[in-house]
Amino acid sequence: MNIWTSELQNIIKLLFGNAGKATDIEIAVCAVAAVILAIFALKWAGNSFGFAMADRGRSTAVIAVWILLALAATAAINIYAAPLIKNPALVKWIPVAACALILLILIVPLAMVLLKSKYLQTLLAMLISIGAAAGIVLLVHGALGMASQGGKDFKKTKERTDSINEIIGK
């Protein structure tokens, strides 16, 4: 079980961790923002496409099932299949292909039933919600990066101001 939890943590850090530079709080903020926006984007897209039962609860169920299945499949591939594959490019793309197949084969039909919609409309709504989640992750990382860089620059400015005040005070 420890191998599974460590692999899931690695996957989450890879998805939301800004290439290993992010802290745990930044990763949590990005993950929560991505999930919440994906839920609202699926609800909004569903309402725009005229899904009969597009609401937050059903959208949450669809997104939650997709996240759980995608994480489980990616972890299983990384634990069991990746050590056996010799091609490094294939190791990187197999989890992406597995997540895409899960989306096409399991999640879109589930969303069709829950949201009372058609396949292509549901697929497009899911892709919109995934794009929204990816966009918010980029924006949150950008905002957090600007804030941390601004703090560093402010510290440098404060040090310069203090040194100038010390020189003037003498």
Over the Cα atoms of the chain, what is R_g?
Answer: 21
Q: Which residues contact 140 (CB under 8 A, 6 or more apart)?
A: 26, 29, 30, 33
pLDDT recorded at residue 154: 64
The pLDDT tens digits for 104-161 are: 999 999 999 999 999 999 999 999 999 999 999 888 887 877 776 666 666 777 777 7
pLDDT over 70 at 96, yes or no: yes
pLDDT class of 60 with cuts at 50, 70, 90: very high
Give the residue extent of every domain in the chain.
2-142
pLDDT recorded at residue 160: 74
CA-to-CA separations, 102 to 73, 83, 105, in angstroms, rounded:
9, 22, 5
- Name the pTM for this structure: 0.79
